[in-house]
């Protein structure tokens, strides 16, 4: 049976069920599979025409033992999770303009209009299934830069086994994103607006990490995490790389490039995972905004901390891409000691310096661009003008980065830019980019967003400096009330 180990190497290996329900490993590391399952060329050929759900079943079966989730139950969990999507293909791929080899994959057809829905529905349905079987409950604690929170809140609605606490840095997310969490009216969903987060969502991650380090607290509050710390999220996101590949290449075996708007590196790690499994990816473009942490690693050989800047692509305003530790773990040859020492370097001195051998591994099949705010806005405007396609600011970062690097690839190289959110979540940015004051283009609107515009919002307010104690108090009180 495939086992999961911690990137810090300090806990005994666990099975899929434990890795999913715990979220964080007890030593503060992140769960990863002991070895990455391999997919042969024959498998790739067999999978090339599968529907999203059938492909998901094949890929997930490599990670989830039948004795933990039997095949028929796994299939049911997959269809329940993708059943909330409004597009029959779940994640359709379309050419950006009819003449080029630049495609976009629309990852925003889920219920809260961002790519987080792709894996979150499956993760929360799976947790609910496992918890109900054990007769247990869990409290999910989630920090969001705008899209994870709505996806988790929506997927948790009505679940008897789950309480969902979503924390967001007030003023750092769009009103539309906020309303997706605060208008649900579900008794098991708690939205917490956190004020005075100078480092945005990173401030919340720090508090959450502190709470998960306290094992007594984790037990008492039955805490779990569904941020992309949770293995299930990144594993599920590997599927859309396979799916996009099969829908785009002329023949199986050809290679491809993906451009990925990158914040916490969860989605990009999933791409790396797909490639390590055997998907022929020539290169990943790490599309950063001005908070260019990963771009700086490739440019300077240093993984360094810089003050967070607010940009039009707010969901990727992240200073510490925590899934990078998972990537570094595999690139270093699964060296937990190195991870521990790099994590303490990062904490103590604010950066990690890599040697030449490590940089060779880090750069293998990766390139990067740091897209400016101006280019994010002008790419929205130009793509709309030239291709009548309205991008959201995160998709725009991916497309801008791809446009910058396509001339350096061999002619005919197929490139897929991942579109991670629907533009209806960011009407102010669309207006700014298109320089229009009044009505938005119809593709910039969405019924689900319009519907909640005039509703009351239900939220709890808290100052960042008091967040930990407020959460402990509030969560304990709710638990007591519900028992
Ligand atoms: C719209 C959008 N695009 C891209 C990302 C970046 O994904 P990741 O954090 O997995 O790098 C996020 C979330 O952080 C997001 O919400």
Q: Give the CATH number for residue 288.
A: 3.40.50.1100
Q: Can you tell me which residue has the tokens 């991650």?
A: 205
Q: Give the whole-angstrom CA distance, residue 388 versus residue 94.
A: 13
User: Model's pTM, two decimal places?
Assistant: 0.96
Question: Among candidates 456, 474, 478, 482, which has minimal Cα distance to 184?
Answer: 456
Instruction: State the pLDDT at residue 286.
Output: 98
Ligand 1 pocket check: which of 200, 235, 266 to mutate, most ligand atoms within 8 Å of Cβ?
266
Q: Give the whole-angstrom CA distance, residue 278 versus residue 440.
A: 42
Atom of ligand 1 nearest to the CA of 264: 9
Ligand 1 pocket check: which of 118, 200, 264, 398 to mutate, most ligand atoms within 8 Å of Cβ?
264
Residue 153 in any domain: the answer is no
Residue 243 in any domain: the answer is yes
- Structural domain count of the chain: 1
Strand 4-6 versus strand 31-33 pairing type: antiparallel
Q: Which residues of the chain have pLDDT under 50?
A: none
Residue 86 in any domain: the answer is no
Catalytic residue numbers, as ranges: 116
Instruction: Give the distance from CA 407 to its chain's centroid.
Output: 28
Burial of 383 (0-12, 13-18, 19+ CB in 10 A): buried
Atom of ligand 1 nearest to the CA of 237: 10
Residue whose Cα lies nearest atom 15 of ligand 1: it is: 315
Is the C-beta atom of 228 inside 6 A of ligand 1?
A: yes
Residue 175 in any domain: the answer is no
Residue 46 in any domain: the answer is no
Instruction: State the pLDDT at residue 346.
Output: 96
Q: Give the whole-angstrom CA distance, residue 9 versus residue 5.
A: 7
Which range marks the domain in which residue 424 is found?
Answer: 93-113+232-445
d(CA 135, ligand 1 centre) in Å: 33
Strand 31-33 versus strand 162-169 pairing type: unpaired
Residue 433 in any domain: the answer is yes
Q: Give the whole-angstrom CA distance, residue 243 versus residue 274.
A: 11
Residue 1 in any domain: the answer is no
Phi, psi values for residue 458, rounded to 5°: -115, 115
Instruction: State the pLDDT at residue 312.
Output: 96
d(CA 331, ligand 1 centre) in Å: 22
Is the C-beta atom of 260 inside 6 A of ligand 1?
A: no
d(CA 165, ligand 1 centre) in Å: 19
Is the C-beta atom of 266 inside 6 A of ligand 1?
A: yes
Cα angle 69, 72, 76; round to 5: 90
Burial of 48 (0-12, 13-18, 19+ CB in 10 A): middle
Instruction: State the pLDDT at residue 481.
Output: 84
Atom of ligand 1 nearest to the CA of 148: 16
Strand 351-353 versus strand 302-304 pairing type: antiparallel
Residue 290 in any domain: the answer is yes
Four-point Cα dihedral 467, 469, 471, 477, nearest 10? -150
Atom of ligand 1 nearest to the CA of 269: 10
Residue whose Cα lies nearest atom 4 of ligand 1: it is: 261
Instruction: Give the distance from CA 349 to its chain's centroid.
Output: 27
Instruction: State the pLDDT at residue 463.
Output: 97
Is the C-beta atom of 247 inside 6 A of ligand 1?
A: no
pLDDT digits (tens, 9 = 90+) for 325-380: 999 999 999 999 999 999 999 999 999 999 999 999 999 999 999 999 999 999 99
pLDDT digits (tens, 9 = 90+) for 236-291: 999 999 999 999 999 999 999 999 999 999 999 999 999 999 999 999 999 999 99
Is the C-beta atom of 315 inside 6 A of ligand 1?
A: yes
């Amino acid at each position: 049976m495939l086992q999961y180990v911690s990137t810090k190497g300090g806990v005994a290996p666990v099975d899929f069920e434990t890795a999913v329900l715990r979220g964080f490993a007890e030593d503060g590391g992140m769960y990863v599979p002991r070895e990455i399952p391999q997919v042969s060329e024959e498998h790739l050929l067999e999978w090339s025409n599968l529907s999203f759900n059938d492909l998901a079943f094949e890929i997930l079966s490599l990670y989830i033992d039948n004795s933990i989730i039997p095949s028929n139950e796994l299939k049911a969990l997959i269809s329940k999770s993708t059943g909330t999507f409004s597009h029959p293909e779940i994640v359709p791929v379309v050419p950006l303009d009819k003449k080029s080899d630049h495609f976009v994959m629309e990852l925003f057809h889920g219920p809260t209009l961002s790519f987080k829905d792709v894996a979150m529905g499956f993760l929360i349905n799976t947790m609910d299934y496992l918890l109900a079987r054990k007769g247990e409950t869990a409290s999910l604690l989630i920090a969001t830069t705008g899209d994870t929170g709505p996806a988790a809140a929506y997927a948790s609605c009505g679940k008897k086994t789950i309480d969902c606490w979503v924390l967001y840095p007030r003023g750092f997310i769009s009103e539309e994103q906020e309303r997706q969490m605060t208008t649900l009216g579900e008794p098991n969903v708690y939205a917490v607006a956190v004020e005075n987060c100078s480092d945005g969502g990173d401030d919340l991650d720090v508090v959450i990490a502190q709470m998960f380090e306290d094992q007594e607290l984790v037990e008492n509050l039955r805490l779990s995490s569904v941020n992309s710390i949770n293995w299930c999220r990144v594993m599920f996101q590997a599927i859309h790389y396979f799916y996009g590949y099969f829908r785009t290449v002329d023949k199986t075996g050809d290679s491809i490039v993906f451009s990925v708007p990158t914040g916490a590196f969860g989605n990009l790690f999933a791409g790396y995972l797909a490639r390590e499994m055997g998907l022929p990816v020539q290169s990943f473009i790490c599309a950063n905004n001005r908070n260019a942490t990963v771009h700086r690693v490739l440019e300077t050989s240093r993984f360094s901390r810089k003050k967070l800047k607010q940009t039009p692509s707010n969901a990727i305003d992240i200073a510490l891409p925590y899934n990078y530790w998972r990537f570094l773990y595999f690139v270093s040859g699964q060296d937990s000691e190195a991870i521990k020492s790099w994590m303490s370097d990062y904490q103590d001195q604010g950066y990690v310096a890599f040697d030449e051998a490590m940089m060779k591994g880090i750069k293998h099949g990766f390139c990067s661009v740091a897209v400016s705010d101006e280019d994010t806005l002008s790419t929205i405007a130009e793509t709309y003008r030239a291709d009548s396609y309205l991008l959201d600011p995160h998709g725009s970062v991916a497309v801008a980065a791809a446009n910058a690097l396509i001339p350096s690839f061999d002619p005919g190289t197929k490139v897929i830019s991942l579109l991670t959110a629907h533009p209806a979540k960011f009407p102010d940015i669309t207006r700014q980019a298109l320089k229009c004051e009044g009505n938005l283009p119809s593709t910039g609107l969405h019924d689900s967003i319009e519907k909640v515009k005039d509703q009351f919002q239900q939220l709890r307010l808290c100052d960042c400096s008091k967040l930990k104690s407020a959460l402990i108090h509030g969560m304990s009180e709710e638990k007591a009330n519900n028992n």
